[in-house]
Amino acid sequence: MAARVLRLSLALLAVSTLVPTVFGDVGNNRFIEINRQLRKTKNDAKLASQRLSLEESAVASSTKQQYRFLNNDTNKYLVNSLPLVKGDIGEMYSGNIPINTKDPSRTLFFIFQPTVGPKVDEVTIWLNGGPGCSSLIGFFQENGKFLYAPGMYEPILNEYSYANLTNVLWVEQPVGTGYSTGKVTARNEADVGRDFADFFLNFQKTFGIKKFKIYFTGESYAGMYIPHIANEFLDRNNTDHFDVGGALIIDPCIGDCDYSQVTVPAVPYIQKNNLILGLNDTYLAQLVAQDQKCGFADYRKKYLVFPPSGRQPPTPKDFDSDACDLWSASVEEILRVNPCASVYNILEQCPYKSNIMSDPYPDNPIYFARADVKEALHAPAEQDWSQCASREVFVDGDQSLPPNQKVLPRLIEHTNRVVVTNGDLDYRILNDGVLLAIQNMTWNGKMGFQAEPSQPVVLNLPLLQWADSDAAAGNSELTDGPQGTMGTQHYERGLLWVRANGAGHEQPLYQPRMSYRQLQYVLGRIDKL
């Protein structure tokens, strides 16, 4: 109604500029009457606009009163809107919180989205990898309330957001990542764990959180972060603030990330997927010969077995020599065939998709580098933001042991609710490499899986994300049905391993229903996939 009144007042204003010419002296009285009506209409429009503004303010105030985590300390973190995001963003907070309140210069940046579903006393932490890559990748392109994936024109509602299930906390860490501030001091994952635990305690105190279950989710190098941070939580022996309930670790580095997880399984992966990769027969034969010569074929034959044959040997010092670095060599050849290829999803083809996080179209700047976005998120205005850090986030590289040696087994044994999952289109962290890492790990009294994974994953979740598009194309019957068999799973002694069909490195982006289902399991909403 206010909009109609305003349009009418503008129309009358336009007419008033013509009245003296049209009516002349004869119509002066009529002109005065029209101006009187115009003033009344403008006053009515102003009053209507004021009423509407008051009504909207009252609704907003009433809604905010229902916000669970809004208090005097959190009000400064409340996010009211996000540029380009349409509609109500709901209850959301973001900003920087000190790691140590005595040193406010070192902070971690967070976004906190309370669940849009029933209230739950839990916090689910999401971490991206790198090291040094922003967890806002997960927030905006994988599992946040809004999805702005590569190639998309604008953000849309994410039907499979983790926030539909739980209170989600995305954190940019370690120091040196994203909007986080301060001097880089971490030398290993133990340092990262201590910093994160200190930050998280300050976060909980600020938001009035106590006696919540804590769950970890993340991908890639978060396979290093999560078990070590969880280990620090367990060391603190404080269930008021560090009560770890489980973890979902996606396409993770959990063993020897460069050797047994990537180089050793590279050639059979290429053979299996060469219809996509398109390497010629001559080059493929050379790879197979070098795979045998470098000892990788024998390594797989001996150690990629169920049950495991024994402890795997230390990483050879020369495994990444020119002759044996078959993964890097194959990537170069793959790029000759397909200049737009990606190790994170082997289906990628030219042209490149605009990516709002790192490489957008020229007229569309990197989203989190925008001044208005920084202001909306209470981020440091002077802080340069990039998807992955331009500086090292460890003083002299990460000196930590692989998680499968100690801290990951401890996490599994404590919770008996850990999922390790991998996408079959990921050529950065390979499925067989993850299995090799598992077969070299001892937990709950035994080493590795005793049986080879073979049970299918059948997803019955309906299609929600693109249902409107399917309906418009006349395929509405597809939206209500199950997705079907979408992978392979295997469970032993508190650890569930899942291979996700059709998923690249960022599984929540490529197979959101699979990722959503796995989170349901970790949170205890379901007992099996």
Spell out the SS3 assignment of 165-216. CCEEEEEECCCCCCCCECCCCCCCHHHHHHHHHHHHHHHHHHHCCCCCEEEE
Is residue 362 scored above 50 in pLDDT? Answer: yes
CA proximity to 262, closest of 211, 308, 208, 299: 299
pLDDT at residue 7, as a whole number: 34
Summarised one tens digit per residue, pLDDT across range 324-335 is 999 999 999 999
Whether the predicted pLDDT of 394 surpasses 50: yes
Task: Check whether 444 has a pLDDT greater than 50.
Answer: yes
Q: Show the tokens assigned to 11.
A: 């129309």
290 and 461 Cβ atoms separated by less than 8 Å: no
Backbone dihedral region of 477: left (phi > 0), alpha (psi from -120 to 50 degrees) or beta? alpha
Predicted confidence (pLDDT) at residue 320 exceeds the cutoff of 90: no
* Average pLDDT score over residue span 12-22: 33
In this predicted structure, the answer to whether residue 423 has a pLDDT above a threshold of 90 is yes
Global pTM value: 0.86
- For CA atoms 346, 397, 169, 78, give the dihedral sign: negative
Q: Which of 21-25, 36-40, 499-503 has the lowest mean pLDDT?
A: 21-25
Which of 426, 432, 490, 515 is labelled catalytic? 426
Pairing mode of beta strands 446-447, 455-459:
unpaired
Neighbours of 311 (CB within 10 A): 11
Find the catalytic residue in 134, 220, 260, 342: 220
**pLDDT greater than 70 at residue 483:** yes
**Residue 18 pLDDT > 60:** no
Question: Phi, psi (5° rounding) for residue 507?
Answer: -60, -40
102 vs 36, residue with greater confidence: 102
pLDDT for 13? 33
Which position has the token pair 């299918």?
456
In single-letter form, the type of residue at position 328 comes to: S
- Residue 502 buriedness (CB in 10 A; 0-12 / 13-18 / 19+): middle
How much is the average pLDDT of 48-75?
69
Reported as a single tens digit per residue, the pLDDT across 427-437 is: 999 999 999 99
Q: What is the pLDDT, as a whole number, of residue 507?
A: 97
Distance CA 359, CA 351 (A): 13
Query: Quick check: 498 and 419 in contact, CB under 8 A?
Result: yes
Mean pLDDT score across all residues of the chain: 89
Query: What pLDDT, in 10s, does the model give residues 81-130?
Result: 999 999 899 999 999 999 999 999 999 999 999 999 899 999 999 999 99
Residue in 260, 342, 505, 515 annotated catalytic: 505
The question of whether 505 is a catalytic residue gets the answer yes
- The lowest-confidence range among 278-282, 442-446, 457-461, 517-521 is 457-461
Mean pLDDT of 352-380: 91
- Residues 184-207: what's their mean pLDDT? 98
Per the listing, tokens 């205890």 go with 524
Residue type (1 letter), 295: G
Q: Which residue has the higher pLDDT, 322 or 433?
A: 433
In percent, the amount of the chain with pLDDT more than 70 equals 85
Q: Is residue 28 pLDDT above 70, yes or no?
A: no
Say whether 330 is catalytic: no
Encode pLDDT of 211-251 as tens digits.
Answer: 999 999 999 999 999 999 999 999 999 999 999 999 999 99
Whether 192 and 198 have beta carbons less than 8 Å apart is answered as no
Buried b vs exposed e over 218-230: b needs ≥16 C-beta within 10 Å? bbbbbbbbbbbbb
What are the strands, taking DSSP E only, across 40-183? 93-100, 103-113, 122-127, 146-147, 156-157, 167-172
pLDDT digits (tens, 9 = 90+) for 145-185: 999 999 998 999 999 999 999 999 999 999 999 999 999 99
| pLDDT at 349 exceeding the cut of 50 | yes
Average pLDDT (309-338) is: 94
Mean pLDDT of 510-522: 97
Asked which of 269-273, 397-401, 428-432 is least confident by mean pLDDT, the reply is 397-401
What is the pLDDT at residue 34?
Answer: 41
